[in-house]
Structure 1
Amino acid sequence: MAVQISFLNQLIVNEETLDEDIIRPLDRRYQSALLAWDKCDRFALDIETYGEHPGDGLNPWLGSIRLLQIGLPDNRVIVVDLGGWDGKADTNLDGFLTRLEKHLRNPNKIVMGANLKFDLLFLKVKYGFEARCCQDVMLMSQVLWAGLPINHSLKAIASRIGIEIDKTQQMSEWGFELNNNQLNYAAKDVKVIFPIWKELDTLLRSSKVIGSATFENVALPCFVQMEYYGMPVDYELLLETIDKYEAVTTQVLQPFSDIFPGVNPDSSQQVISAVKEKLNIDLIGTSQEALAAYWDNPALKAISLWRTLTTYLDYFYGIKAAYFDGAVRGVYRQINPSGFGRSTCGSDKKANRVGVNLQNPPARVPEELEQYNLPPLRTVFRASENDTLLVSDLSSAHARIACEVSRDRTLTEAYNSGADIHAITAAGIAKLQGRDWTPDYITKARKDKSNPDNAIASQLRQLAKPVFYGSLNCQGAMTLKVTVQKDCGLELSEEESKAAIAAWKETYAGIHRFQQQTHRKANSRRYTFDFCKGEFGLVTGASGRKAYLPMRISDFSRDKTPQVKISDCSSFVWTSCEADIIKGAMGVFLLRCDENPEWGVRICNMAHDEVDVICNKDFAPKVAEVLQANMRAAMAFFIKTIPPDDLSSKPDSLIVNSWADK
C-alpha cells in the first residue's frame, strides 16, 4: 500500500499545469471557440483512442475514441472527452459532433493532421463522418522526401524541420481518468500541425512537387472509404470455390506423390533432397520459378502446379478469415516505402486487423490449369443484389506515359493510328530472327490457323508483351527469361532474351534514348542529408513527382562508381505519373458523386491503375459514364500528343458481374 501511495504521489508531483490554450466544453471560452471554428478556413484534427486488448486502440472496429482535439489557427485547442471505461464523458457539447461532421464534409474547409486516415477511419466507423478537403503532413513529407529511408511519423517530421515533440504520453493508458500531462500532450499534437504544414508547404512548392502532394491529399478520403467498405464478396460462392480448388489440388499433386511417397511437398528441404536422390537433379529451390525449368518431368511439373494452386488457396483462406459485413477489407499504405507513389494493401497485425491484399490477386487461371475448369480467383468478388460493381482502369498507362515523355516516333504513330503495339514489337523481334514480317502480317498469321506461320506468329505476339513492358523498365535478360516462362509458358535462352531486348531498343529507339538520358541526369548530382545515411540521385517523373534513389555499386557493371539503377529511374518516370493520375481521378470522382448521393457510390478498392466502385444498380450506367470520363480526363491532363485511352471502349464495359469479368 505504501508503494502504491508513493507512486500516486509521484504522479501528482509530476503533473503539469494544464495548457491555457486548451478549451473544454465547460470552459467559459467554449462558445467563442466554436464560433471561431465555424469561421476559420482550416483546422487541425487528432484523436486519442483506447481498447480492451493491446492493439485494439488502433483498430476502429475494436477500439474507442477517448479524446477529440480540434486545433484552431490562433493556437486554441478544443478538447472533448468522449469517455473511458468509467463512462464519464463531457456533457453540454452544444452540437460539437454535428459541427464536426459539417466541417469535415465541407469541400472548402481544410482539415489538417498527421496520418489522417487513422483518425478519419475511426470517425467513419463510429459516426459515419467523412472528410473531403484534407491536408495530411505525413503524406506531404512522403512526397517531399520520397525514396529516402526515413520515418514519417509526426515526431520525425517535426524533428526534421526543427520542432521537438515529446511522445511519451502516446503509450499511456487512455481508458481511465486522464491527467494534465495527457491533455497537454493531446493538445500539442494538433498545435504543431500548423507550423509543420506551413514549412512543408513551402518546401514542396520550392521543390516543385506540390502537385503530387495535392493529388495524395485529394485521394485520402477515397482510401478511407476503401478501408471502410472493402471489396464485396459472395460468401457462399467463396466456400464452393474453395472446395473445388482443394479437390483439384489433391489431383494435381498425384504424379509427385506417386514417385515421392511420404515427402512433404510443403518442405523445400525434403523435396530438394528427394529429387536429388531419385532423379539426380540439383534444385536451387522449390519456388514456381525454380521448378519451371523442369516441367518436362511430370513429378516436378506437378509440384510446381501444386504450389500455384496452394498460393490461390491461401488467398481464398485469407478472404474467408477477413470476411465480415459482406466484404473483405485491406489496410492500405497510401504511399509505399519506395516513394514511387504506389500504394500497398494487406493486414496490420499491430492493430489486430486481418486484411487481404486487394491489389494483386491473379485475374485468370493459369493456362496450364485450364483443363480443370476452375473459376478465376476474382470470381468471388461480387456486388450484393441491389448494387453493381464497376471496374475502371487506365489503358496502357505506362506505355502512353513513356510515349508522351520520350516522343518516340514509332509508338506515337502506333497510338495515333490505332495499331497494335505488341504486333509492332513482335515484328522487331522477328526481324532480328531473319524474318521480314510486318506487324500486319503477324496479326493476320496469328488469326489464320491455316497459315504456315501461325504458330510462330502467335508465339511472337505472346512474347512481345512481356518484352515490351519488361524493357520499358530496363529489366535484364535473365529476368525476362523467367517472366516469359512464368507468364507465357515459353522457353527462352539467355541469348534469345538478349536478342528480344535488343530488338525492342531498336524498335523504340526514342524511349531507349530517353531512358539513358534520365539515368545520366539522375546520376549527375549526389544528394546527402543530415537525417539519413547514404548518397542519392534525384529522378523526376513524367508528372513532376520526384524521388531520391540510392546510389550503389552495381554487380553487373564494369564501372564501380556508385550509381542509381537505371531500372529504378525508368520505372519511376511512368509509375509515379500513373500514381498521380489514378489518385487525382479518384478524388475528383468522389467529389462529383457527392453531388448525386442517390447514386450510392462507394469506392471499394484501387489497384495501381484501376479503381473499383460499388453503386446503386439503378444508376450504374450513369456512374460508369462519369467514372470513365473522369479517368480519361485525368490521363488527358498529362497525355497530350496521343489519345489518352482506348476511345472505342464504352462506359457499359465497366459494369461487371464479378471482378473476374474485367
Structure 2
Amino acid sequence: QQLCAQQSVCFDTETTGIDPLLSDLVGLSFAYTEGEAFYVPISENREEAQKQVDIFRPFFENDRIEKIGQNLKYDILSLRHYGISVKGKLFDTMIAHYLLNPELRHGMDYMAETYLKYKTIHIEELIGPKGKNQKSMRDVDKQVVCDYAAEDADITLKLKNMLEEEIRQNNFDYLFYEVESPLVYVLADMEWTGVRLDLDALAQLSEEFTAELQQVEAEIIAMAGEEFNVNSPKQIGEVLFEKMKIIEKPKKTRTGQYSTSEDELQKLRNKHPVIEKILEQRGLKKLLGTYIDAFPLLVNPRTGKVHTSFNQTVAATGRLSSTNPNLQNIPIRDERGKEMRRVFIPDEGCTFLSADYSQIELRIMAHLSEDKNMLEAFNQGLDIHTATAAKINHIPVEEATSDMRRKAKTANFGIIYGISVFGLSERLNIPRGEAKALIDGYFATYPGVKRYMDESIADAREKGYVETVLGRKRFLADINSKNAVVRGYAERNAINAPIQGSAADIIKVAMIRIFNRLEKEGLQSKMILQVHDELNFNVPANELERMKKIVVEEMENAYKLRVPLKTDCGVGDNWLEAH
C-alpha cells in the first residue's frame, strides 16, 4: 500500500542468473526516499514465490506510478515469468547516462563512483568471479543479499535524482521520455517473444558449408603446392610471401610475423587467385563457428526459441546492437551469409514480414543538407543512384548505364562516410584520377552536401558535439586534435553521426508507434527482430494485409523529413524470403 501511494518508486530484482529468460527471482528491493530501502526475499518454492510476487502486482501494473531502475528491461523480463506486466513511465538510469555520455560505461558501480563518490558492494564479492564456479544469488546469506539489493535500489534512486536534472539541462526530455524510455517496453517484448529457428535447415547448411570449407582448403593447399595448416596466419604468411613470393615487400606485424589480416589480404586480391580462396576459407570458417554451429546452443530450453538481447546503450551513434546472436553482424553482403537468414522462421500458421527503410541515410542527408538537386531527385521519386550517375556524367537519366549507377552508388554512400580519393579508387578498383573526378563531379552535382559537410565540422569544432534530428548528441573530444589522423576520424564522425543517429532515432520512433498500435488494435502479430534500418515481424496469416498497412504507415510517418520516407515490405516463409 505504501508503494502504491508513491508517485515514483525505484525497484530492482535479484535473480539466479544473468539471462532473465532462464532465471528465477531471489528477491525484490524498493526505494522511494533517499537513504531508505526495503528488501523482500522470494521463496525458492515456485507456488509460494508466485503468491509473494502477486502481492506486488497492484504496484507493478499501476500505470500512474513511475518505475525507476538500472537496466529496467532485465527486471521487466524477470517479472514477466510471474505473469506481471510492468506498466507506467520508466526512468532507467543506465539509459539516462548513455544519452548524456554515450562514450562512457553505464554500469551502476561506475556511476556511483562518478556521481556520488561512493563505492558500491560489487556483485562478484557475493557470488565470486565469472566462470563455472560462480555461485547463484540463492546460495548467498539472506542478510548479505539484503544489504546488496537495498543498496542497489537506494543508489539508483540517488542517481535518478541527479541524472533527471542533467536530462532537463541538455534538452533531452523528448528523446528520453518519449523515445528511449518507451522503447524499453518494446525491446523487452521482442526479447520475450523470441524467434523460431529451423534446426533442420541449419543442420543442412552446416553440412553444406563444412563440405565447401574442406574443398576450399584443399584448393589452397593445391595452389601452394605443399601441405600446411591453412588456419595458421603464421604459416599462411610464410607460404604466400616466402614460398610463392606474391609481393616484394610484405607488411609485417609488431612481432615480425607476416601480416595476413583481412585488410592486408583485401589489398592483395588481384595478385594471385589463392588470396581470394584464403578470404573465402576465413569467411566460411566464421559463418560455421560464429553462427551455424553456435545457433543451436542459443535455443532457450524453456521456449524452444532464440531470444536475442537488444542493447540500447552500446553504440555511441544511437543505433541498437544485439548479442546472442549478434544479428547486425551476419554478413549479408555475400550469398552464403544471406543463406543464414533462411533459418529464421515464423511460428506455425504465421508468416515472416520484413520491412526496411529505403536509402534512409541518403534521405536524411538530403534533409540536413537541403541540397536542391538531391531534394528534387527524392521528391520526384527517382532512383537516387541513377539520378546521381546521370548528373555527374551530364547525360539524361535514361542513358545512365548500370556501371555508372554502381559507381554513383558507391560515391553516394561513401561520401556520407567521408571516403577519400584513395578509398574510392580502392573500393571501385579504378585509377585515382578517375576517383577524384567522380568525387569532384559529385560535389558539383550536390553543392549543398559539400556545404553541409563543411558546416558540420565547423559546428563540431565550436560546440564539441553534433546533433541528430531529435537532439541526440555525439560528443567529439578529438575534433580539435593536433594529430591529423585522430582529427580526421572525428571530422568524419561529425558528418556521419547526425545521419546515422537520425536514422536510429527515426526507426526507434517507428518501433514504438507500431508496438502501441498492435496493442491498441488487439493484434496477435509481434515485432521480433530489428537490424539497422529493418524491422521484422511474426504475423498470423489472417492479419497479414492489415499488418502491411500498419507497418508501412507508421514507418513512413515516424518523422517528417523534407523528402518522403519510403519503406519496402516483403513477405515469406523465412527471413530470407521476406527480405
**TM class, shorter-length:** 0.7 to 0.9
TM-aligned CA deviation for residue 473 of structure 1: 1.9
| TM-superposition CA deviations, 1:128-157 (whole Å, max 9, x none) | 64556422011011101223xx33222333
The TM-score with structure 1 as length reference comes to 0.76
Equivalent residue, structure 2, for 1:614: 538
- Distance in 1, matches of 2:362 and 2:78, equals 39
TM-aligned CA deviation for residue 219 of structure 1: 0.8
Equivalent residue, structure 2, for 1:275: 240
Equivalent residue, structure 1, for 2:321: 344
Residues 1:256 and 2:220 aligned together = yes
TM-aligned CA deviation for residue 288 of structure 1: 4.8
Query: Could you tell me which amino acid in structure 2 is paired with residue 331 of structure 1?
Result: S
Residues 1:398 and 2:366 aligned together = no
Equivalent residue, structure 1, for 2:398: 440
Equivalent residue, structure 2, for 1:643: 564
Residues 1:232 and 2:196 aligned together = yes
TM-aligned CA deviation for residue 519 of structure 1: 0.7
TM-aligned CA deviation for residue 567 of structure 1: 0.8
CA contact (8 A) 2:355 2:536 kept: yes
Structure 1 pair 287–498 and aligned structure 2 pair: CA distance change class (3 A): farther
Matches within 5 A, 1:410-559: 410-429=373-392, 431=393, 436-442=394-400, 457-482=401-426, 484=427, 490-525=428-463, 537-551=464-478, 553=481, 556=484
Equivalent residue, structure 1, for 2:508: 583
The TM-score with structure 2 as length reference comes to 0.86
TM-aligned CA deviation for residue 43 of structure 1: 2.2
Matches within 5 A, 1:154-303: 154-162=108-116, 164=118, 166-168=120-122, 171-173=125-127, 174-176=137-139, 178-180=141-143, 182-214=145-177, 215-260=179-224, 261-282=226-247, 284=251, 285-292=259-266, 293-295=268-270, 297-303=272-278
| TM-superposition CA deviations, 1:449-478 (whole Å, max 9, x none) | xxxxxxxx2222112222211101212234
TM-aligned CA deviation for residue 115 of structure 1: 1.2
TM-aligned CA deviation for residue 127 of structure 1: 4.4
Structure 1 pair 177–468 and aligned structure 2 pair: CA distance change class (3 A): closer
Q: What 5-or-longer segments of structure 1 have no aligned partner? A: 1-34, 51-56, 347-354, 443-456, 485-489, 526-536
Structure 1 pair 464–170 and aligned structure 2 pair: CA distance change class (3 A): same
- May I ask how many residue pairs the two structures share in their alignment? 553
Equivalent residue, structure 1, for 2:576: 660
| TM-superposition CA deviations, 1:316-335 (whole Å, max 9, x none) | 22223323444333333212
CA contact (8 A) 1:66 1:82 kept: yes
CA contact (8 A) 1:474 1:570 kept: yes
- Distance in 1, matches of 2:410 and 2:55, equals 53
TM-aligned CA deviation for residue 392 of structure 1: 1.8
| TM-superposition CA deviations, 1:585-622 (whole Å, max 9, x none) | 2123222222344x323332211222222233322222
Query: Could you tell me which amino acid in structure 2 is paired with residue 363 of structure 1?
Result: I
Equivalent residue, structure 1, for 2:29: 69
Query: Could you tell me which amino acid in structure 2 is paired with residue 360 of structure 1?
Result: N
TM-aligned CA deviation for residue 259 of structure 1: 2.3
Equivalent residue, structure 2, for 1:603: 527
Query: Could you tell me which amino acid in structure 2 is paired with residue 64 of structure 1?
Result: D
Structure 1 pair 275–258 and aligned structure 2 pair: CA distance change class (3 A): same
Residues 1:141 and 2:97 aligned together = yes
Higher-Rg structure is 1
Q: What value does the CA root-mean-square deviation take over the aligned residues?
A: 3.0
> SS of the counterpart of 1:544?
coil
TM-aligned CA deviation for residue 411 of structure 1: 0.8
Could you tell which deviates more after superposition, 322-331 or 237-246?
322-331
TM-aligned CA deviation for residue 213 of structure 1: 1.9
- Distance in 1, matches of 2:162 and 2:298, equals 40
> SS of the counterpart of 1:276?
helix
Structure 1 pair 122–472 and aligned structure 2 pair: CA distance change class (3 A): same
CA contact (8 A) 1:401 1:542 kept: no
CA contact (8 A) 2:355 2:551 kept: yes
Query: Could you tell me which amino acid in structure 1 is paired with residue 440 of structure 2?
Result: A
CA contact (8 A) 1:365 1:377 kept: no
Q: Percent same amino acid among aligned pairs?
A: 22
Structure 1 pair 264–180 and aligned structure 2 pair: CA distance change class (3 A): closer
Query: Could you tell me which amino acid in structure 2 is paired with residue 317 of structure 1?
Result: D
CA contact (8 A) 1:234 1:326 kept: no
TM-aligned CA deviation for residue 123 of structure 1: 2.2
Equivalent residue, structure 1, for 2:130: none
TM-aligned CA deviation for residue 179 of structure 1: 4.9
- Distance in 1, matches of 2:304 and 2:391, equals 49
Structure 1 pair 573–208 and aligned structure 2 pair: CA distance change class (3 A): same
- Distance in 1, matches of 2:307 and 2:432, equals 42
Query: Could you tell me which amino acid in structure 1 is paired with residue 326 of structure 2?
Result: N
Equivalent residue, structure 1, for 2:547: 623
